[in-house]
Amino acid sequence: MKKIVVLISGEGLTLQALIDACKCGRISAEICAVISNKSSAFGLQRAKLENIPTQTFLRKNFVDNQAMDQAIGDYIQSINADLIVLAGYMKILTAEFTQRFVGKILNIHPSLLPKFPGLNTYQQALDAGETEHGTTVHFVNEEVDAGAVVLQAKVPVFPADTVTDIEQRVKTQELRIYPLVVQWFVSDRLKLINGSAYLDGEQLPSHGASY
């Protein structure tokens, strides 16, 4: 059985969806560790409830980001994880880390990339007068929110929407699509080859597959 490590910084709703999917067999893999860069991350409690080992790496305990990511990477290598899943991990990974695990890191970002990388995507979408928004699962490379796109899910944006309305709509989709993509990866259907995402041997378009 393949081993997954999940990196979090906060609430861990996405982590919970992955835990539940592993428990019910929708993901045929084991979450072998949850790593956080915040000791207060509620996701750590979720992991503990499921007897999943947790590790916390605090930036203040390392001389620089590179040293921190080196330690995280060494831990991940020591437990032989096959896949690193970023689930609300709010710290930018160093290029050394992303290159060390190239093709093995997935992230979910709440926008239809390449639109709105970075933070506050819901507000950005509202400000831009978008009529649709969404979420993207992508491989991680050394640029923030820029690796090969695997799957996108769209949601409508209505004229009277608030940030919360859009966020709720997007999150509902995120909890559906992330377990699906993780299952594609652990069942060897999804691969990163020369910077492009392939599903079942077919290169995915630049906006990925659509949910």
- 92 marked as part of a ligand binding site: yes
Please state the closest distance from residue 194 (CB atom) to ligand GRF, in A: 26
Q: Does 88 bind ligand GRF (CB under 6 A)?
A: yes
Q: Does 174 bind ligand GRF (CB under 6 A)?
A: yes
Q: Does 147 bind ligand GRF (CB under 6 A)?
A: no
Q: Which stretch binds ligand GRF (CB under 6 A): 31-39, 91-99, 103-111, 143-151?
A: 103-111
Q: What is the 3-state secondary structure (H, E, C) of the chain?
A: CEEEEEEECCCCHHHHHHHHHHHCCCCCEEEEEEEECCCCCHHHHHHHHCCCCEEECCHHHCCCHHHHHHHHHHHHHHCCCCEEEECCCCCCCCHHHHHHCCCCEEEEECCCCCCCCCCCHHHHHHHCCCCEEEEEEEECCCCCCCCCEEEEEEEECCCCCCHHHHHHHHHHHHHHHHHHHHHHHHCCCEEEECCEEEECCEECCCCCEEC
When binding is defined by CB under 6 A, the residue of 2, 13, 26, 126 that contacts ligand GRF is 13
Please state the closest distance from residue 19 (CB atom) to ligand GRF, in A: 11
Q: Which residue is nearest to ligand GRF (CB)?
A: 88
- 27 marked as part of a ligand binding site: no
Q: Which stretch binds ligand GRF (CB under 6 A): 4-12, 27-35, 53-61, 157-165?
A: 4-12
Q: Does 110 bind ligand GRF (CB under 6 A)?
A: yes
C-alpha span between 184 and 4 (Å, rounded)? 13
Would residue 109 show up in a list of annotated catalytic residues for this protein? Answer: yes
> 3, exposed or middle or buried, with CB in 10 Å at 0-12, 13-18, 19+?
middle
Q: Does 12 bind ligand GRF (CB under 6 A)?
A: yes
When binding is defined by CB under 6 A, the residue of 2, 3, 11, 102 that contacts ligand GRF is 11
- Given the residues 109, 133, 138, 207, the one annotated as active site: 109
Report residue 117 as tokens.
């990388």
Bind-site residues? 90-93, 107
Residues taking part in catalysis: 109
* Binding residue positions for (6R)-10-formyltetrahydrofolate: 90-93, 107
Give contact residues for ligand GRF (rule: CB under 6 A).
8, 10-15, 43, 87-88, 108-110, 135, 171, 174
